[in-house]
Structure formats: C-alpha cells, structure tokens
Structure 1
Amino acid sequence: MMKILIAEDDFGVRDTLKDFLEFFYEGIQIDLAVNGQQAIDMVNAGRYDILITDQMMPDMTGIDFIQASIEKLRSDGTWVYVYSGQLLEELTVKLEGLNEVKIIDKFTNPMFFKEIIDSYKAANS
C-alpha cells in the first residue's frame, strides 16, 4: 500500500488535497500533519513513499522540516515535494544540497498531484 504524508497547516488545503487524491486512488494511505514538528515525528515513526509539504507553516518552514528529516527521507527513498507561492529562485537557493526535493508552485493545476502518484507507481512497478 502506498503511503503519502501531507504536511499543511491550512485545514481547507490539507483536506481538499487528501479528498482529491482519494477520489482517484483506492488502496493508498494518506496521513496528515498540521505542522512541521508533527511531520518530523510522523516521518521518524514510519515510512512514506511520497511527502508533500507546504513551505509556509507556523512553527517551521517546509524546508526546515525537510532538512531536519532528510537522512530518514533519503534512506526510505521518499519522493519529496514542497509547494509554495514563493519565487522559485528563492526556494531553489534554500534547497541547495537537497537535489531530490522538487518544488511545486502553489497555484499549479491540481492534476499535477495525480501525475506525481502516477509517476511514482510507474517507477516502482
């Protein structure tokens, strides 16, 4: 069973993304973290195939969360995505040395999240 972690402090965005993915896929487990610290705890306690995190959260940024968990994420082979409305160049500098992390524009077409799942399934079948 594919396991996905969504780290997002905004209830509406978090639940909408979960509902969207569950509409297209059966047999996936989606866990939700409401802040960066909870996401760190969840990554340390389990293994996720895909991580999708917001950049701007109240207790820490998505990048801070990823940096705190990167060794575990790397050893688990987790696909990591951070989404934000920030400028791409600004995020790219902050992600230096974290080449496996992909950036998603917060205003991207929601179907892009479906493409992430499809790509993961194709790469791991």
Structure 2
Amino acid sequence: MLKVLIADDSKMMRVMHVRSLRQVGYEVEASEANNGEEALALFEPGKFDLVIVDWNMPGMDGIEFVRAAREKEQGAGKRTPILMITSQSTEEQMLKAKEAGVDNLLTKPVTPEAIGAALEMLLARA
C-alpha cells in the first residue's frame, strides 16, 4: 500500500492523481490537502511514501510547503520523496523547486504513465 499525501487546491486534480497511481498499478491510501497549510499539518517525517504537491495554491504555496516539510525532516533521518506537478516550467522555476527540496517536477498536463515513471524513479532512490 502506497501512502500518499496530495496537496492541490483542485479536488479534481487530487482525484486524478490518485486515479493515475492506481492505473499504473499502485494500491493507494491518499491523504488530501487543499493547500500548503493543510498539507503541513498532515505531514510527518516517515508517515508517507510520497508527497504530490501543486505549486500554485492559496495561502501557503507548494514551494513554501516543500521548504517547511524539509525543515520538519531535519534530524529525523527520513526524507519523503516529493513530486511537484505544476504548470510552472521555466528553467528558473525548476531550479527554485529543486533548491526548495522537490525531488522531481512534472509539468501539467501529465499522463498516468508519466506519474508512474516519476514514482518508480523516486522510489528507486529512496
């Protein structure tokens, strides 16, 4: 069972991400958040196998969430793979995401196969 935290202000996108993971063969237990604050309240080091986060959300955005999540992990000895799925795709934005602690970034729209391939790569590193 893959435990996933999905942070996106669009309910439809959260449902699509879960469906995509299931389409590529994963059994998924998903926790959902509408924004970075909700996601951070749910996030604990080692609690999830994967975090999928959007960049643009009201309140705390995806980048702020990633920075705060990585801070929570300091000293815990655990690092949760974070996949950002976003419409942000300039080189500068990709660098900003990587510097914040994003492990992989996919640009919308994404296919289930792209999510599956990114997940396989992230889990192989973990």
Smaller-chain TM-score bracket? 0.7 to 0.9
CA gap 1:73/1:81 in 2 versus in 1, 3 angstroms: farther
Runs (5+) with no aligned partner, structure 2: none
2:82 partner letter: V
Quote the residue 2:69 is aligned against: 69
CA gap 1:96/1:79 in 2 versus in 1, 3 angstroms: closer
Structure 1 position 59 matched with structure 2 position 59:
yes
TM-score norm. by structure 2 comes to 0.79
Quote the residue 2:90 is aligned against: 88
* CA-CA distance at 1:72 after TM superposition: 3.2
Identity score, percent: 27
* CA-CA distance at 1:46 after TM superposition: 6.2
* CA-CA distance at 1:122 after TM superposition: 4.6
* CA-CA distance at 1:93 after TM superposition: 4.1
Between the aligned partners of 2:96 and 2:122, the Cα distance in structure 1 is 25
Quote the residue 1:19 is aligned against: 19
Runs (5+) with no aligned partner, structure 1: none
Give runs of ≥4 in structure 1 deviating > 6 Å.
none
Between the aligned partners of 1:108 and 1:24, the Cα distance in structure 2 is 13
Cα RMSD, aligned residues only? 2.5
Contact 2:5–2:50 (Cα < 8 Å) also in 1: yes
2:111 partner letter: N
Between the aligned partners of 1:114 and 1:94, the Cα distance in structure 2 is 24
Tell me the alpha carbon deviations over residues 12-47 of structure 1, each in whole angstroms, 9 at most, x when there is no partner: 111121122224435432221111111001113861
Quote the residue 1:44 is aligned against: 44
Between the aligned partners of 1:44 and 1:55, the Cα distance in structure 2 is 20
SS at match of 2:44: helix
Out of 101, 106, 109, the residue aligned to residue 107 of structure 1 is 109
* CA-CA distance at 1:55 after TM superposition: 0.4
Between the aligned partners of 1:42 and 1:34, the Cα distance in structure 2 is 11
TM-score norm. by structure 1 comes to 0.79
Contact 2:46–2:78 (Cα < 8 Å) also in 1: no
* CA-CA distance at 1:10 after TM superposition: 0.5
